C-alpha cells in the first residue's frame, strides 16, 4: 500500500506487515476500511525515537482521506478497552442529530489542534453514502392486514436475501441464499415494481405499501449506551497526559457551546 511504501522509505523502518479489517465477532472488530500496520524499526543514528515518529507522522500526513494513529500494539488494545478508541485521548460527543454531532466534533478538533503535545488528531470518519430508503405507508399496511414487521421481513428477504440451506462441495460449505434476481432489484423502478404475494392471495407492488426514495445517509452510526456519538481522538507526545486533557477540557468548555441534550465525555 501507499502508506507501507512511505514507511519503508524511512531509514528507521526495517519491515512492515498489515492486517485489514477484523471479523465481526472479534473483540476489536473493525471494517475493511481500516488497517493495522505493524512496523519493525530501529532508531537511526542521530535521531531520538520522538524525532523519528514525528518525521513519520509528517510523511504520512500527505496521504489524503486517512486518519492515522501511531502507537504500540498493546497500548492500542489498552486504549481501546478503556475508551473504545485506539488513542490516548478520546473526546466523545453525544447527541441525536448526526450532522450537528459532526459540526461540533470539528469545533472540538479546532480547539485541540494547536495544543502543545497533541498528535494524531482526527475526527471519527463518517461519510454520506447513497441509500435506498423504504418508508412504510401505515394506512396501506392496515388495509392489507400487514404489520411493519411483516413488511420489513419481506423486503429483507427479497433484496438482502435469506440463508435457507447450505451446500457441501468436496470439503467446502457454501450458504444457499434466496432473494430476488437482478431483473427485480437492479434499479429504483424495479424495486418499486417488485411484487409480493400476501397471505390473502393478493399480489401487490412494493410501491403500494411504502414510499421508495434514493437519498444519502451516513455510512455508520456509532453508539454508546444507546446514545449516538462521534469521537475526536488524539495521542500525546512530549507531554504528560493529565495536563493535556485538562487544557483540552478548558478550551472546549470556554469556546464550544452545545445545544440542549448534547454533552461531552473525556476518556482515554
Domains and CATH numbers, the chain: 1-66 (no CATH), 85-126+222-268 (3.30.70.1320), 130-218 (3.30.2090.10)
pLDDT of residue 76: 66
pTM: 0.68
**What's the mean pLDDT when you consider all of the chain?**
88
- Helices 98-112 + 241-255 axis angle, to 10: 120
The pLDDT of 150-175, averaged and rounded, is 90
- The model's confidence at residue 26, banded by pLDDT at 50, 70 and 90, is low
- Pick the closest to residue 216 from 98, 109, 114, 112 (CA basis): 98
Which residues are bridge partners to 216 per DSSP? 130
As a whole number of angstroms, the distance between CA 191 and CA 185 comes to 5
- Pick the closest to residue 47 from 37, 55, 58 (CA basis): 55
Q: Which helix (H) or strand (E) holds 101?
A: helix 98-112
pLDDT of residue 85: 74
pLDDT digits (tens, 9 = 90+) for 167-196: 998 888 999 999 988 888 888 899 999 999
The pLDDT of 197-218, averaged and rounded, is 89
Q: What percentage of residues in the chain have a pLDDT greater than 70?
A: 94
pLDDT digits (tens, 9 = 90+) for 34-63: 888 999 999 999 889 889 999 999 999 888
pLDDT of residue 28: 66
**220: number of Cβ within 10 Å:** 12
- The model's confidence at residue 232, banded by pLDDT at 50, 70 and 90, is very high
pLDDT of residue 84: 67
- The model's confidence at residue 260, banded by pLDDT at 50, 70 and 90, is very high
Q: What percentage of residues in the chain have a pLDDT greater than 90?
A: 52
Of 82-91, 161-170, 235-244, which gets the smallest average pLDDT?
A: 82-91
The pLDDT of 115-139, averaged and rounded, is 89
Amino acid at each position: 500500500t501507499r502508506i507501507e511504501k512511505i514507511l519503508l522509505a524511512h531509514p528507521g523502518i526495517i519491515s512492515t506487515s498489515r492486517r485489514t479489517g477484523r471479523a465481526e465477532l472479534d473483540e476489536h472488530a473493525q471494517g475493511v476500511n481500516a488497517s493495522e500496520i505493524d512496523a519493525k524499526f530501529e532508531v537511526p543514528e542521530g535521531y531520538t525515537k520522538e524525532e523519528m515518529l514525528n518525521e513519520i507522522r509528517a510523511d504520512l500526513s500527505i496521504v489524503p482521506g486517512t486518519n492515522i494513529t501511531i502507537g504500540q500494539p498493546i497500548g492500542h488494545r489498552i486504549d481501546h478497552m478503556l475508551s473504545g478508541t485506539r488513542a490516548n485521548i478520546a473526546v466523545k460527543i453525544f447527541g441525536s442529530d448526526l450532522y450537528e454531532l459532526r459540526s461540533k466534533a470539528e469545533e472540538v478538533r479546532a480547539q485541540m489542534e494547536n495544543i502543545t503535545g497533541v498528535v494524531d488528531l482526527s475526527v471519527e470518519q463518517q461519510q454520506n453514502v447513497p441509500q435506498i430508503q423504504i418508508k412504510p405507508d401505515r394506512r396501506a399496511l392496515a388495509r392489507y392486514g400487514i404489520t411493519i414487521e411483516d413488511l420489513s421481513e419481506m423486503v429483507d428477504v427479497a433484496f438482502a436475501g435469506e440463508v435457507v440451506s447450505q451446500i457441501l462441495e468436496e470439503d467446502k460449505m457454501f450458504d444457499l441464499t434466496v432473494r430476488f434476481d437482478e431483473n427485480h432489484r437492479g434499479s429504483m423502478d424495479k424495486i418499486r415494481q417488485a411484487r409480493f404475494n400476501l397471505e390473502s392471495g393478493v399480489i401487490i407492488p412494493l410501491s403500494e405499501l411504502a414510499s421508495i426514495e434514493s437519498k444519502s445517509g451516513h455510512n455508520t452510526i456509532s453508539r454508546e449506551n444507546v446514545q449516538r456519538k462521534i469521537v475526536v481522538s488524539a495521542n500525546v507526545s512530549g507531554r504528560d497526559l493529565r495536563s493535556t486533557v485538562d487544557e483540552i477540557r478548558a478550551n472546549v468548555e470556554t469556546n464550544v457551546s452545545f445545544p440542549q441534550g448534547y454533552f461531552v465525555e473525556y476518556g482515554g
